[in-house]
A and B are shown apart, each in its own frame.
Chain A
Amino acid sequence: MSETAIPSSIQAAPASPAATPVDPSSFLRDKVRWRWFETVFWLATLLPFFVAETYLILASQIAITALFAVSLDLIVGYSGLVSLGHAVFFGFGAYIAGLLSKHGWGEPLTGLLVATAGATVLGYLISFIIARITHFALIMVTLGLCLLMFELANKAHWLTGGDDGLQGMSMWPIFGIFDFDLYGYTAYAYSLIGLFLSFLVIRRIINSPFGLSLRGMRENVRRMPAIGASIKRRIQVIYTISAGFAGLAGGLLAQTTQFVALDALSFQRSAETLVMLILGGAGQLYGGIIGAMLFLVARDQLAGMNPQFWYFWLGLLLVVVIVFLPNGILGSLAKLTSRSRRKP
């Protein structure tokens, strides 16, 4: 037991602002306030429509991948859980949307809704396993589920097209007006709106009492029962929500590309998304979006030079970011700004 006295004190808090009256509610309100740079960011997402029309397809992919990354962030960045198999829900949503369209129901919005609901239900069922295990077991089980779903989809060639992918989708125009065009105008608008609306909901979740309890779990899972929290229930809820958003992203991909590749379910997709999160900054709200942008733009550019060699550059980028910016790009930025703000 600790008999060693650590030299420190109750009184001598380093530079406590001497008895400044504190309004606790306004402090917390300030923390969740919509910031100017968020407005700038979302306005900037409209730029591809005007300045980079040839990249609209890529922009749409980025928006979808970003949504997937943000859904993973709910688990990994905010709740402190691990998942190596989140593509299960992404792929599940993609196949639902794809199969609906292939078999005669090409209406995008209802298709997307069904895909989201399907992934949510699957997430809920799997959450019963997830809430029972931790650490390495969690890594192994999520990885195992991912491999299992991948091989199931591969085997069920009659349903999914297996290796060849799901072909023969035909999407109806959105609201009967906006047809999915070759250049990707509709696709990007559709994906971007999907991302933005989902983001608003996720932002609210994070800033809610529930979101605070998730951060509590991440920070100290041992303390949570000691303040009366039943963490299993919390894990189930966030896992289910996260699975729903992943399925939504998968549905968006299927509908905008009118194709589902087996790779939607792959371990590689799960792992790459984790890489994006770490690059951008896990638990930073915008980290997944920034990470997805960086990752996909870099792949687009570097793979253009040499398709196979691009993983070399990715590896280099990962090592550099982890060593010099351990909290990801956004995490390190946030640290810098909070440090400069604290200076009088």
Chain B
Amino acid sequence: MSISSSPTLASGTPAASGVAGPIVLETRDLQKKFGSLVVAKDISIAVPQGGRYALIGPNGAGKTTLINLITGMLKPDSGAIFLNGQDITQMAPATRVKRGLVRTFQINTLFPTLTALEAVTLAVCERRGEAGVWWRSLPGYGEAIAEAYDILSSLNLAADCERPTRELAYGQQRLLEIALALATKPSVLLLDEPAAGVPRSESAELFTAIAGLSKEITILFIEHDMNVVFRFASRIIVMVNGSILVEGAPAEISADPRVREVYLGSGYHD
């Protein structure tokens, strides 16, 4: 069902993007205004299966807005969103999650008094359609609990899974954000600055965990640290003032004079 493979340039692209699968996430001409402020202008992207797309751009470029539009937390003024070729523009956020389109949040959006195990078990139960059951005791759902525990283990959170979320270290809470998303078995994962607030020395570790995720999962992530972006992204989309400035392989992006001017020129770290 491959409609159009993304136009990858043969030269200078990392191996990851060399083989592009079918497009799983696509937006067409998304528009969004807050009053007279245009926060999304003609946003059209197409992410193939297994892609590791980075969304970069200066503060206020509309990156998080785009994720809010894709996940349904904001309604676009016009344009359409497709998941696996199906129009999901009118779907409620929870319905999109059930179809495999899942996000994490830039600012920890967790369940403070629930233990990490309870939180992830809750997400697993939601996916399995068991979270509406009020006549059976939770410990009876051994499979869901074991699955939650496995997810936590894979992210190095198992030892602390019995602690309330609010007692976890900040970096662990960032991982728990990802664990919650994984529990929904996403096919497309949107990560809004997964390493926000984590010291740079440790963000690499966090991204190693992300890079280790199954290639079945398509990832679009927002990140400010250019080292991380160039290391983990197969393709990069640069946004400025609500619209896409340029999209390309990392080598193209780093060579692009416009990108250097608007983004790398002022914001390049190191």
Q: Which residues of A contact B (CB under 8 A)?
A: 1-14, 16-20, 22, 24-25, 27-29, 32, 204-205, 207-213, 215-216, 219-220, 222-231, 233-234, 237, 241
B102: A residues at CB distance < 8 A: 226-228
Distance of A248 Cα from B151 Cα, bound (Å): 43
Check B193 for interface membership: any CB of A closer than 8 A.
yes
Shortest Cβ distance from B248 into chain A, in angstroms? Answer: 23
Within 8 A of A (CB), among B122-173: 122-123, 125-127, 130-139, 141-142, 144-146, 148-149, 156, 158-163, 167-172
Which of the listed residues B94, B121, B206 has the most CB atoms from chain A within 10 Å of its own CB? B94
A-chain residues with CB within 8 Å of residue B131 when the two chains form the complex: 209-210, 212-213, 229
A19 nearest CB neighbor, chain B only = B159
Interface residues of B (CB under 8 A from A): 59, 64, 71, 92-95, 97-98, 102-103, 105-107, 109-114, 117-119, 121-123, 125-127, 130-139, 141-142, 144-146, 148-149, 156, 158-163, 167-172, 174-175, 180-181, 183-184, 193, 196-200, 202, 205-206, 224
B111: which of A14, A19, A215, A241 is its contact (CB, 8 Å)?
Answer: A215
Residue of A whose beta carbon sits closest to that of B113: A219
List 4 A-B pairs, minimum CB-CB distance, nearest first: A10-B171, A210-B134, A228-B97, A8-B170
Interface of chain A, main secondary structure? loop
Contact at B170–A6, with CB atoms within 8 Å? yes
Counted as pairs of residues, one from A and one from B, with CB atoms less than 8 Å apart, the total is 196
| CB atoms of A5 and B198 under 8 A apart | yes
The docked-state distance in angstroms from the alpha carbon of A205 to that of B123 is 18
**Is the beta-carbon distance between A32 and B180 smaller than 8 angstroms?**
no
Evaluate contact between A226 and B97: CB separation under 8 angstroms: yes
Given A2-B107, A24-B145, A210-B132: A215 and B113 interface contact (C-beta under 8 Å): yes
User: Are B161 and A24 within 8 A (Cβ)?
Assistant: yes
Contacting pair A16 B94 (CB below 8 A): no
User: Would A22 and B138 count as touching, CB distance under 8 A?
Assistant: no
Q: Are A204 and B135 in contact (CB under 8 A)?
A: yes
- What chain B residues lie within 8 Å of A216 (beta carbons)? 111, 114, 119, 122
Complex Cα spacing A220 to B114, Å: 10
Instruction: Check B123–A212 contact: CB distance below 8 A.
Output: no
